[in-house]
Structure formats: C-alpha cells, structure tokens
Structure 1
Amino acid sequence: MAGAPPVIGAPHQDKKPPVSQCRLTPSGRQSVLSLRPQATPNMKIIIYSIILIISIVNLFFSIYTFRTPNWIRFDSPKSSPFQLTSIFGLKEKCDKSADYSQFQCRKFPEKSKDCSIDINLFKTNQLTLQPALKLLKNRGDESLGDQDQVNQFNAHTHQTKSGFGFCEKWNTAAYTSQLSIIINLISVFCIFIVLIGNNYRKENGWKVCGGLILIHAIFQTISWSLIIKVFNEDDRFYLGSNLSLSTYISILTSILDLMCFTTLICGEFSGVFKHSNQAEEDDDYVPIN
C-alpha cells in the first residue's frame, strides 16, 4: 500500500526564537532585553522594612511604658491582715486595698508626700530619744547624753529618710522616657522617607536613622536604669516589691534598638548600602557585541 500523499496547503511551521526587543543606548550601541531571571529583592529595602516595623513596635512600647503605672509592684503578704497592692509608674502611683475594688491613683512623685518627710516625725524622734539619752547621762555616759547627739541623729534621719535624690532620679527617668517617644517618632518618619526614597537615600540614610535609633536606646536605658537604681536603694521598696512589666518592656526596647543599630552598621561595612543590585545597574539590558 502506497504511502499517504502529503497534505497540500499545510503550512510548514518552523520553531523560531522569539524576537528580542531592542533599543539604542545613549552610546549608540544596540541593546537587547536580558533573558536572565529577575534579580532578588533589594537587600536595602528588606533591611529598612524590618527596621521600620521594629521601630513602630518600639514606639508603642515606649508610649505604653510612659503612660502605664506598672514599673514597680508591691503586694502585701497573704498572711497580712491588711491586704494592699501598690503599682508605681513614671507619672502616677495606684493603690488598691480591701476597701477599694479598683485602683485609686494619684500623681507620683509628689513633693509634699514622696520627696520629703513630715517635720512632726523629727519631733517625735527627739521626744522619744530624750528620756533614753537622759537615763544614759545619769548613768555617767556623757558621750551619749549630750544634746548634740540628738541633733546629729535628727540630721542623719533627715538625710536618710527625707527621700533626697529619689524624686530627682524618678523625674529624670520620666523625662528621658518622654523624650524617647519624640525621638522614636522622628526615627519612624525618617526610616519611612528613606524606604520610599531614591537609591541615594537608601545608600546614605542609614547614618541618620541609625543615629536616631541609638539616641532612643540611650534614653530608654537611662529610664530603666534609674528605676532599677532607686528600686535597689530606696527603703520604700521593701519585701514584697518587685520590678513589673513596664521595666522589662523598656529593657526589651533598648535591646531591639541596639539590634537595629548593629544591623545598619553591619550593612554599611558589608557593602549592602554601597552597591545596587544588578537590575538597577544596567536596567535589565544587556549590550549586543
């Protein structure tokens, strides 16, 4: 049986390579679109995006720690007949006892209540000590029976119990925390401008952004360092007092800031901010030789 005749009129299809799209470069050479795979996302954009997210989180943390009275918490022992809970913030103190179902808050620290001691307490100390000192004097101990000893005791009591230095440290912690919020707002705006800006901003913006992040970390560190210092030194925070949530959040904020700052420094020294990716350098065109 003879073979089937070829089909007349059937077009002969040849596989041809796709026509390249060409253009002329400023130098007059013909260029063709590159057929290579697309470049990976710009590393600078990834870094700035992550740091922007962390800075926004730190902003919420900073506002929370400044406004919430939750730096130090005191709970009276369960065996105590009088149950009391006190929470201390940078700007207020709240107390709750069996008589109140909710916290009753007031401004903290107040100069009249928290920064000085009532003069009647010194009078009480003096009246209490005088009979004992008089008895010692009658027994022949002249060194303890002198009135100067009473004055020295009162002066010492005034130094150790009057709260000297406490309010200054506490108010400084509140002030630096408030400043850190302002710096954090500026840094978020700066990082956003760099992120949407041109390549020059991405290559050089790390200096300003990193500086603002570092300043925010310093202010936050000053705040929680002062709070921890007065917590360890002041005798108003006795057994039952503990550092609370805001203190730990402030420490976490400082750590995150230092991590972001270190990332920017490492990115600069590794050349991430100095060189564009290949797609930006030649605009995805390959010259034809």
Structure 2
Amino acid sequence: MPENPEGGRLVLVGAPLGNPADASARLGEVLAGADIVAAEDTRRLSRLTRDLSVTVAGRVVSYFEGNEERRTPELVQALLDGATVAVVTDGGMPSVSDPGYRLVRGALAAGVPVTAAPGPSAVTTALAVSGLPCDRFCFEGFLPRSGGARRSRLRGLAAEERTLVFFEAPHRIAGALADLAEAFGPDRPAALCRELTKTYEEVLRRPLGELAEWAASGTARGEITLVVAGASAVPASRPDDDALRAAVAALETAGSSRRDAIAAVATEYGLRRREVYGIVHAD
C-alpha cells in the first residue's frame, strides 16, 4: 500500500436523518475542522450547520451521484496533499446507498487513513422500530427501477430467512409493494417507515398486501425505509378460526383494546387485520 507521509485523512460523517438534535458533538467538530467538506447536498449541509451553530472553515464541495465518479480523483489528490476531507450525506452514513464508497476505495488504494464519526442510520433505526426480528437481517438498498428487473430480484429473495431492509422512493413505492406482495405473498409481515425522526414520522406495521393497497392510493410521501420479515418468520400454518378468536379474547382479557388485539394477532400469524376482524365478529 502506498505511504501517505503528508497526513491526509478521510472522515465519513453520520448525519441526522431529520432531527438536528440527533447530531453528535463530534459531527460538529469534524465539520468545523475539515479542510474540505464533500456534501451530497450543500444546501442541506448549510441548514444543518446553521441548526447546530457550526461554522465550516474549510472548502465545501458537492459530492453526489451525478459527479461522484468525476470528483473522486480530485478528493483523493487532496487527501494525498495532506487535507482532511469529511464526507456528509443528506442523512445517515455515507457509502450506505449514498455517495462515499468510491472515495473510500480510492483513499484506501492511495494509503490514506479512513475513519468515521458514526451517527444515525435509517437501516438500523427502521429495524429497531419495525417490531420484526433484528438479530439477523440483510440490507438490499434500492430495488431496480424497472418492473421486470425488480420482480426478478424479488423472486430471488423470496426464500431469504433473514429480515430484509429496502430503501424506496415515494413515486416507486406502490409498484415495489405490489411486486413484493406478489413475490413474497400478501400476508408477509412488514413495516413501512416514513420520514424517520422527522415531524411527520409514520410507521405502518401491516402485511405486504395491506401496505400495497395503502400505497396504491398515492398517499406515500417523504423518505421511505421498508422492513420485511424473512421467510422463516412467516407462520407455517394458519390457526383455525376458534384459535384466532381465543387469541384475541386472551389479549382483551389482559387489557388490550379489541382493535389492538386484532392487530397483534394478525401480525403474529401473518394475516390481514380485516380477516381477523371478520372472524372475531362473525355471527
């Protein structure tokens, strides 16, 4: 590996997902002290530093998908010249479905130290609030944009036993959920996490079929992280109606409202809430 006697250093900075109060003190120190701050969106960086009362003394450059390949050699050269370069994205950790990977590889190849000021991650945050198993999971990032390629990818993931995490854009979420429900089955438990840590944060914990129906109405807005149960989390067999009614009744006896009891039983057995509701209220 080449030597780097000048002392340049690359720092990956974990930015808040939405709430500036989630920023660490170290984030502010790194941004204030860096010779160059490579930002996915310089306007968002400006708002963040203003919210944190941080003054960036170094040079700020844009570093996003459209110019990442072209700008990486320039930043590697700056690192070789001794600069401390901080990379910050719109939210979360650089390199995780965001700019940064190319620069990390370039810096390592040039013998430049790479470190991080770790911070929030939409992947682990969504996992934690999803109510789905978190001990084993895999992150799939963004699904292919074209329907055919997306369906092909999902067919290959249908038997995956670990919890799956996806990123998706609002204008593609309806198509993605429809394809997920088809490939994984409409009863597969999932959680759609929207605008995490922001004012209008919303977490919808429903089977894929219900989420697909919700998204088809065109109400999805903001940044979306989707968590889907692995194949091993899907019940092998559906309990009979009497057992479902008994499970709901037991939760009600323990203090749950009927609505919450129905939702909990539906989630536990990978069923639609309306199906459990119909069974509970059947004559």
TM-score scaled by length of structure 1: 0.23
Instruction: Identify the structure with bigger relative contact order (alpha carbons < 8 Å, sequence gap 6+).
Output: 1
**The structure with more helix, counted as a fraction of residues:** 1
**The structure with more strand, counted as a fraction of residues:** 2
- Indicate the structure (1 or 2) with the bigger Cα radius of gyration: 1
